[in-house]
Amino acid sequence: MEQIKHIAFIMDGNRRWAKDQGLPSLEGHKAGYDKMKDVGDWCIDRGIKHITVYAFSTENWKRSQTEVDYLMRLLENALTKELYEFNKRGIRLKVIGSRDRLPKSVVKAIDNAEAETANNNKGILNMAINYGGRLEIVEAVKKIIDQKKSSIEVTEDLVSNNIWTVGQPDPDILVRTSGEQRLSNFLTWQVVYSELFFIEPHWPAFSEEDLDKIIEDYHNRNRRFGK
Ligand-binding annotation for 121, yes or no, is no
Give the residue among 45, 39, 33, 53 at the shortest CA–CA distance from 174.
53
- Catalytic site includes residue 60: yes
Q: Which residues pair with 124 in a beta bridge?
A: 50, 92
180 is in an annotated binding site: no
For the chain, the first-to-last Cα distance in angstroms comes to: 19
52/50 Cα distance (integer angstroms): 7
Is 183 annotated in a binding site? The answer is yes
* Contact status, residue 171 vs residue 6, Cβ threshold 8 Å: yes
The answer on whether 170 is annotated among ligand-binding residues is no
Q: 77 a known binding residue?
A: no
Q: Is 29 annotated as a binding residue?
A: yes
Marked catalytic residue, from 38, 41, 60, 120: 60
Query: Which residue among the candidates 12, 170, 172, 210 is catalytic per the annotation?
Result: 12
Q: Is 15 annotated as a binding residue?
A: yes
Instruction: Give the integer Cα–Cα distance in Å for 169 and 155.
Output: 17
12 is known as an active-site residue:
yes
Measured in whole angstroms, how far is the alpha carbon of residue 45 from the centre of its chain?
A: 18
Residues serving a catalytic function are: 12, 60
Task: Report the binding-site residues for substrate.
Answer: 13-17, 29, 57-59, 61, 63, 176, 182-184
Binding residues for Mg(2+): 12, 195
Q: Return binding residues.
A: 12-17, 29, 57-59, 61, 63, 176, 182-184, 195
